[in-house]
A and B are shown apart, each in its own frame.
Chain A
Amino acid sequence: MFRVGRSVVAALAAAALALTACGGSSSDSSGGSGGSAEGRTLTLWHYETGNSAMGTAWAQAMKDFEAGHPGVKVKFEEKGFEQIQKTAGMVLNSDQAPDIMEYNKGNATAGLLSKQGLLTDLTEEATKRGWDKLLSPSLQTTAKYDERGIMGSGKWFGVPNYGEYVMVYYNKDMFDKAGIKVPTTFDEFTAALDAFAKKGTTPIATAGAEYPAQQLFYLLALNKANRAWIDSFELYKGKVDFHGPEFTYAAQTISDWVKKGYIGKDSAGMKAEDMGVAFIGGKYPIMVSGSWWFGRMQQEIKDFEWGSFLWPGQFAPGSSGNIWVVPEKSENKDLAYDFIDITMKKEIQNLLGNSGGVPVAADPAAITDARNKELIENFNKLSTQDGLAFYPDWPAPGYYDVLVAGIQELINGSKKPEEVLDEIAQPYNDNLADIGN
């Protein structure tokens, strides 16, 4: 009898313990689905390669998250860019939606999903956890979407972790050999181009068949533009005159540069990959393209010294990188918020910077590599001078292909600059009519 009694008491005590434990944990967890954290899983999708800056930093963030949330497992699945791009709307509308995922910023992507009610409004978390203070205003542009799904204002639907911008990569050895100094003003830049062209070297590697040439075109327009013009063009805050000084100058200059031999005629048919490989192979002294090339340059350029500098001008194409979004159907929203918070912490941001990425909230002093430091300092400089001008293909769906075709004709010389401007104005204005502006 005695023994039975003892075991009963023990069982009761254990039950009482379990009950209090339950009560404790449920009062600890802040909102969300409630209940204990035991045995929960955070399903996370992203499409950055494992050895890229983001891949490295986020892998560490997952470890930190698991360490800080005992009993919670992170189930990470690496996805293809195209798969997320094409199927996100369907996945997020089903029970298979992940708890948190990386998604493309922009009106046609995150904006569209937010309009369809598939993304969670993160405004409250952003202010409570201070994400709104860590991100500069131009970075926040891609985080917020209004009820039409247009970025720049409204509620928070995403949180960017990294930035990107277009800069000038240059081959130091070729510059030294030609006796040309790194230009700091636009005049010096054109003088450098001219010096190379006179020596029979085509200075700028670009690619007309993909994004690089249209970004160069946009850079030239930006040299004649101000913030109000950018807001008009990108965020529909005013009218854009395609025959105004900005685009006229850009089209004319591209056409002139081809004639002067600063840009190769054959670049009309080149792809971004061809451009990169040609620069890495030491065939061109200059490549104007984005920070997404940086890691690859670091790994693959072995035969010469290289560096990067900001495009001579106040503005350059650039923005936040892709964003974390929390699907409306996520079952672990509280965990997703915690994870985003970890990726915004100094340690993870510094790791991102040290791995060759452009962090949005790092401590520049903690970046060890000289080139990485240069990359991040240039970004911070651009960001503080309000210089992130987004991308030329953002304003309208399908505008990327319109620009590719237009710039190719410009490089080929098959159409005059004014004709090309008419050609690219039409789809832009059609889209304005569509969204009711």
Chain B
Amino acid sequence: MNADRTFRQPGRWAVLAALVVLAVVMLFPFVIVTLNAFKSPAEYSSNGPLSLPHGFYLDGIIAFWDRVDFGLKLWNSLLISGVVAVAAVVLSVLNAYALGIGKVRGRLWILVLFLVANTLPQESLVYPLYYLSKEVGLYDSKLAVILIFTVIQAAFGTYLLSSVLGQFPRGILEAAEIDGASRWRMLWGIVVPISRPTLSVLLIFFFIWTWNEFFLPMVFLISNDNQTVPVALGVLQGEKMMDATMSSASALLGIVPAVAFFLIFQRTLTRGVTVGAIK
């Protein structure tokens, strides 16, 4: 027993060391961004990106906020990501209920189709989507982006949830059926509450993925009043010039909401998991 413990000790330290290295590697870019966000451009140019800022230079952040009307961009991003996350989860649940629990003919092929659709690069979708949205008058509207991303995210969600629900304990469903529950009732009364942890994870991922999307929002949200945060950050990348300090300031502003969202929901998520376990 004792020998076993000493044998395991070095292994644990190695794992810990590896994790520390990994954490440093992961956090390093954030540290650099934060450092440079609070530097003046002259300070950046004369001392380089790795130096510590001399003072607390807030002008970069304030100037960027005013320049792109960041409050409005935040609201747009929040609205689009929020609606997409909720709608895509609902759509995924409905699809997966049919595919994973229901007995749809050829469901394997349907899932393969979803998976293939999921691997399509967005660049190849741009032109068809552009013509469609122009035809129905949705070009340059938030609704277009919401619809597109709801479908894109739901494709992944359907694929994932279908395999999760495929493992759903049949016994519970059969018991409910004997009790006379309708299919609708079974979905909302049994399947959804039990798979709530999975759904919350999907919700959080959909929100963050949609929040970080750059390419399609850039193409579809033409006027500045409709733009999202990542598109607004693109304003700073000039043809030949980049403003490193202001880019850092904007990057910091861009990351903070997504990180905050993740942290907040991470807690409710774990609470949800433990509640389910006690039951």
Partner-B contacts on A (CB < 8 A): 47-50, 77-83, 86-87, 90-91, 94-96, 104, 211, 272-273, 276-277, 280-282, 290, 292-293, 296, 299-303, 322
Contacts and interface: CB of A to CB of B under 8 A. Distances in A.
Interface string B207-251: 000000000001100111000000100111111111110000000
Given A83-B234, A104-B239, A90 B41 contact: no
Interface SS of chain B: helix
A299 to B, nearest CB: 7
B134 A94 contact: yes
A100 to B, nearest CB: 15
B267 interface: no
A277 B240 CA distance: 14
B268 interface: no
Interface string B9-39: 0000000000000000000000000000000
Number of chain B interface residues as a range: 20 to 34
B237 A280 contact: no
Interface string B134-159: 10000110000000000000000000
A77 B140 CA distance: 14
Nearest to B139: A94
Contact of A299 (B42, B234, B238): B42
25 contacts: A47-B238, A47-B239, A49-B238, A49-B243, A50-B67, A77-B223, A80-B231, A80-B235, A81-B237, A83-B218, A83-B231, A83-B234, A86-B218, A87-B218, A94-B134, A96-B140, A211-B240, A272-B240, A273-B242, A277-B48, A281-B45, A296-B241, A299-B42, A300-B42, A322-B239
A280 B234 contact: no
B46 A281 contact: yes
B167 interface: no
Contacts of A273: 242, 244
A90 B45 contact: no
B241 A303 contact: no
Q: Most B CB atoms within 10 A — which of A94, A272, A290, A293?
A: A94
B59 to A, nearest CB: 12
Contact of B41 (A80, A81, A299): A299
Nearest to B225: A77
A79 B244 CA distance: 18
A2 to B, nearest CB: 54
A79 B67 CA distance: 11
Contacts of B235: 47, 78-80, 83
Given A48-B238, A300-B46, 11 more contacts: A47-B235, A80-B234, A82-B234, A82-B237, A83-B218, A83-B235, A96-B139, A281-B46, A292-B240, A302-B46, A303-B46
List 8 A-B pairs, minimum CB-CB distance, nearest first: A80-B234, A280-B45, A80-B235, A300-B45, A77-B224, A96-B140, A300-B42, A96-B222
Nearest to A211: B240
B65 interface: no
Contacts of B205: none
Given A96-B139, A96-B223, A104-B239, A78 B231 contact: no
B237 A80 contact: yes
Contacts of A301: 45
B243 to A, nearest CB: 7
B45 A277 contact: yes
